[in-house]
Amino acid sequence: MAIQPSEAKPWMLLLFCGLFSSVLCAKDLEFTVELNNAAVVKGSSFIWDCAAEGALPIDITWRKDGQAIVNSEQHTILRNGSLYFTTIERKKQDEGVYECVASNIYGTIVSRANLFIASMSRFLEDPQPVTASLKGVARFRCYLDSIPQADISWEKDRLPIPFNNRFVVLPSGVLQIHDIQESDAANYRCIAVNIANKRRSAEAPLTVQSTIPLLDDVDDMRKPRLVSRSGSTQALAGKTVILECLFERYSLQDTPPEVTWTRGGQLLYTNKYSVYGRSNLRISDLVVFDSGTYVCTARNVETNGIVSVNIYLNVQAPPTLDMVPNGVTRPRASTARFTCICTVDSKPTPTITWLKDGRKIDISGRFNIIYDGLVIVNVQKNTGNETDEGLYQCIAENMYGRAQASARLIIEVAENSPNPPRNVAATVLSSTSVNVTWQAPIMNITVDILTYTIHYQLMEKSYMSPV
Ligand SMILES: *[C@@H]1O[C@H](CO)[C@@H](O)[C@H](O)[C@H]1NC(C)=O
Ligand SMILES: *[C@@H]1O[C@H](CO)[C@@H](O)[C@H](O)[C@H]1NC(C)=O
Ligand SMILES: *[C@@H]1O[C@H](CO)[C@@H](O)[C@H](O)[C@H]1NC(C)=O
Ligand SMILES: *[C@@H]1O[C@H](CO)[C@@H](O)[C@H](O)[C@H]1NC(C)=O
């Protein structure tokens, strides 16, 4: 069914709302702009956007590390809900876990993220001197810590390296030089840049010689010699990764080795894979399924002498939710259940925290975690100043990010319905029996209690059902 916007009539919207009320239309309260982890430059100002929609009015407040943020010289909560930092100051003062807290008549939800101050360490690894043979290969590497990740480029005698496919720069901080020529003999250094800083590494010389030193182990197959390759590599889903593999000829008489990549014995030929530089493997649009062992094989074409190396790739991803809690309406004293399940791609496996109206739920007593759900037994409304009604929210979190979803619990209290029994207590007698005791409720109304119903759940491996 294709409906042009002009044909869509208001009654259609009503119909859809009637059919899927809790899904499409009745937005109790939800975020339209959520927080994402942010890296901010020290000394700059910063606006962190947050917005929610639902029944009006919506009140937005902020917390840092659990403490309410009050308007001050450092922060202002803007009218549209965003948080304005006048200047980002020090690590201790501003780094932390921030929450944007949205409330309306139905309850409260939070959006949570980390704020980092952008930083760059000194070089933890400077390029080292390299001696390489004419027509051979050379490799330099530099390394530092950087938030967010630094872009690395290279200089030859303090000028950008020639734009030439003999020079291959890997984002991990590696420079490969192929088919070495006399003119490549020079000093090389790397330049790291992020939003906060720029650093130059120490320089290292490349010395070019016209012979490959004799090897101790004489190999009749003249197998290619491994110069370097990636170790176990981690990468994020959705991104691109480059696996390094660099071989050198066995000796001057040999032609450069032929390099092929395989996985599970199959050549990698779809356009998801490409050769980066001369011999590295580029894999784009990563998914968790791309995790596994990749094999780089170098062959001396003349002798068929072969060498293979294995590289393990581990693709990880921030949480995404496969199943989110749905709004439920339950009679008083019954059991309510909310489910929150992450996709199998969420790696490492996220931890799930449940909140009620923006506060972490203490999992004890009437609140339990069973399989992937929050189960609230004997739901209460208006007992003293407490009620179980409100917004229940799950936050899934791993080292790469967070995902959240929320739903509303409504508790129905039928008119003229009896009050719940008092002093309910259970004593375990054996693995299959409990002694449950209670007292009759205090009654105001003129109905007789005919029966009491006991609900219980069997807790077996994969079986659970209310009886
Ligand atoms: C909120 O207001 C600030 C300042 O006017 C603006 O920069 C920001 O983009 C606004 N946020 C949203 C979500 O519209
Ligand atoms: C509810 O009442 C108890 C005692 O009557 C009190 O200690 C508690 O602070 C109250 N809670 C709220 C949220 O007002
Ligand atoms: C169950 O508990 C009640 C109250 O403590 C007690 O009177 C009764 O004997 C118990 N029944 C069994 C079968 O243990
Ligand atoms: C009994 O009824 C009165 C008036 O209808 C009400 O104020 C009171 O809260 C009720 N008590 C209980 C225990 O339900």
3-state secondary structure of 288: helix
Q: Please give the average per-residue pLDDT across 281-291, as a whole number.
A: 95
In the predicted structure, residue 409 carries a pLDDT above the cut 70: yes
Strands 83-85 vs 46-48: parallel, antiparallel or unpaired: antiparallel
**pLDDT, tens digit, 9 for 90 and up, residues 75-115:** 899 999 999 999 888 777 889 999 999 999 999 999 999 99
What is residue 20's predicted lDDT score, i.e. its pLDDT? Answer: 46
What is residue 122's predicted lDDT score, i.e. its pLDDT? Answer: 96
**pLDDT, tens digit, 9 for 90 and up, residues 264-275:** 999 998 889 999
What is residue 213's predicted lDDT score, i.e. its pLDDT? Answer: 64
Q: Please give the average per-residue pLDDT across 361-375, as a whole number.
A: 90
What is residue 423's predicted lDDT score, i.e. its pLDDT? Answer: 82
* Better pLDDT: 15 or 46: 46
Is 444 a pocket residue for ligand 4 (Cβ < 6 Å)? yes
Query: Residue of the nearest CA to atom 3 in ligand 2?
Result: 385
> Please, what is the Cα angle at 464 between 460 and 467, to 5 degrees?
120
What is residue 11's predicted lDDT score, i.e. its pLDDT? Answer: 44
What is residue 422's predicted lDDT score, i.e. its pLDDT? Answer: 80
Is 453 a pocket residue for ligand 2 (Cβ < 6 Å)? no
- Residue 93 is which amino acid? Q
In the predicted structure, residue 305 carries a pLDDT above the cut 60: yes
| Residue 292 exposure: Cα atoms within 13 Å on the Cβ side | 13
**pLDDT, tens digit, 9 for 90 and up, residues 205-228:** 999 998 766 666 778 889 999 999
Is 385 a pocket residue for ligand 2 (Cβ < 6 Å)? yes
φ and ψ at residue 51, rounded to 5 degrees: -150, 150
Strands 351-356 vs 241-243: parallel, antiparallel or unpaired: unpaired
- In ligand 3, the atom with minimum distance to the C-alpha of 429 is 14
Q: Which of 380, 385, 386, 387 to mutate to test the pocket of ligand 2 (most atoms within 8 A of CB)?
A: 385
Q: Looking at 203-320, which runs of residues are DSSP E strands?
A: 204-209, 225-229, 233-236, 241-243, 245-248, 258-263, 266-267, 273-276, 280-283, 292-300, 305-316
Print burial letters for 351-386: b (CB count within 10 Å at least 16), e (below 16).
ebbbbbbbeebeeeeeeeeeeebbbbeebbbeeeee
Is 51 a pocket residue for ligand 1 (Cβ < 6 Å)? yes
Percentage, residues of the chain above pLDDT 90: 67
- In this predicted structure, which of 173-187, 213-227, 361-375 has the lowest mean pLDDT? 213-227
What is residue 6's predicted lDDT score, i.e. its pLDDT? Answer: 41
Percentage, residues of the chain above pLDDT 70: 88
- In this predicted structure, which of 175-179, 264-268, 410-414 has the lowest mean pLDDT? 410-414
pTM (predicted TM-score): 0.76
Structure tokens at 375: 């189960």
* Better pLDDT: 207 or 463: 207
What is residue 381's predicted lDDT score, i.e. its pLDDT? Answer: 85
What is residue 455's predicted lDDT score, i.e. its pLDDT? Answer: 66
Domains of the chain, with CATH numbers? Answer: 25-117 (2.60.40.10), 120-209 (2.60.40.10), 225-316 (2.60.40.10), 321-413 (2.60.40.10), 419-467 (no CATH)
